[in-house]
A = this chain, B = another copy of it.
């Protein structure tokens, strides 16, 4: 690999002059500049960014830690971060945390050891105090869930408000027995979404029923199974609020397999092809790309102005996208079967 010293030798100057030319320092004559540039071209010189970062003590990499890089939501977040980072000539280092909270710290420490310029994290554990030691070194921004035991920037979507709206939407369509399906309430986002659900019920003068609160699933398959249990109840729900898109991709197929697409469904979080399913699924859209962008912009802003004050706690509004899956419970199955349909 060619170094500045190699270029310097060929151009008959010092390595420092090569550095000056490369970095557009004005203290170089035109003659010297051209001689050095010519040598760079001949040797196809490319700077060693590692040496540069090491010397400058500033890193041009943003670390991203999310539960799963392949999850559509987080893939979109990552894209949003990448685009913002690129505008500032920064790269992204990405890592998946998995779903075992006990591993969060060790995985994160593997990432931060690589001298990142900032960290964007969607946490999975209940305690982020281990990150306190790094806060002097680089900005840290939380997404998806707020930090626990750590004072840091965050951008989270309106879990409570979105769940409230989703449940109100179902109620407005005539549903009175509404189940909620999703993660354990130990997951902070699920807890807030449950609260929004309960608040909407209360607001409508409806009582919450214990057996309709079907939380605690770990994955899409478990959520599918929970659906089957719910629909087997003597007084089964007519509607399901799925508290997470990941579970929705289990709930929907389960309803379909049971030939129960008459059950209304609304998903917290959009997912691929939700608009093409039959019925197309109404969702509370989180706009993950935007989440990624604002998180990255905060990192960049803190790097650019270390002492400036920024609002730390940011709740991003979510948006109801109404599709077909929440039609009123008042419409009976036999009535809708007369609707013209193209055949398979």
Chain A residues with CB under 8 Å of chain B are 1, 44, 46-51, 53-54, 59-61, 68-72, 75-76, 78-79, 82, 86, 89, 91-96, 109-115, 133, 137, 249, 252-253, 256, 259-262, 271-279, 289, 324, 327, 333-334, 336-337, 339, 341-344
Contacts and interface: CB of A to CB of B under 8 A. Distances in A.
10 nearest interchain CB pairs?
A: A259-B342, A272-B272, A337-B343, A273-B273, A70-B79, A50-B115, A75-B75, A70-B75, A336-B343, A49-B113
A333 B344 CA distance: 7
A111 B91 contact: yes
A89 B95 CA distance: 12
A107 to B, nearest CB: 8
21 contacts: A44-B133, A49-B115, A50-B50, A54-B54, A68-B79, A70-B289, A72-B75, A79-B96, A91-B95, A91-B114, A92-B93, A92-B94, A92-B95, A249-B273, A252-B273, A271-B272, A271-B273, A273-B276, A278-B344, A327-B344, A341-B341
Contacts of A109: 46
Given A75-B75, A96-B79, A278 B275 contact: no
Contact of A273 (B71, B96, B262, B272): B272
A284 B115 CA distance: 42
B343 A47 contact: no
A94 B114 contact: no
Contact of A110 (B89, B94, B253): B89
Contact of A82 (B61, B69, B324): B69
A341 to B, nearest CB: 8
A208 to B, nearest CB: 27
Contacts of A327: 344
A86 to B, nearest CB: 8
A278 B49 CA distance: 51
A50 B82 contact: no
A69, A249, A278 interface centre (most CB from chain B within 10 Å): A69
A106 B69 CA distance: 25
Contact of A262 (B277, B324, B344): B344
Given A274-B273, A276-B253, A277-B277, A61 B114 contact: yes
Contacts of A86: 95
Nearest to A134: B46
A69 B64 CA distance: 13
Contacts of A94: 78, 82, 92-94
A260 B342 contact: yes
Contact of A91 (B49, B93, B275): B93
Nearest to A258: B342
Contacts of A46: 109, 112-113
A324 B343 CA distance: 13
A260 B342 CA distance: 7
A287 to B, nearest CB: 13
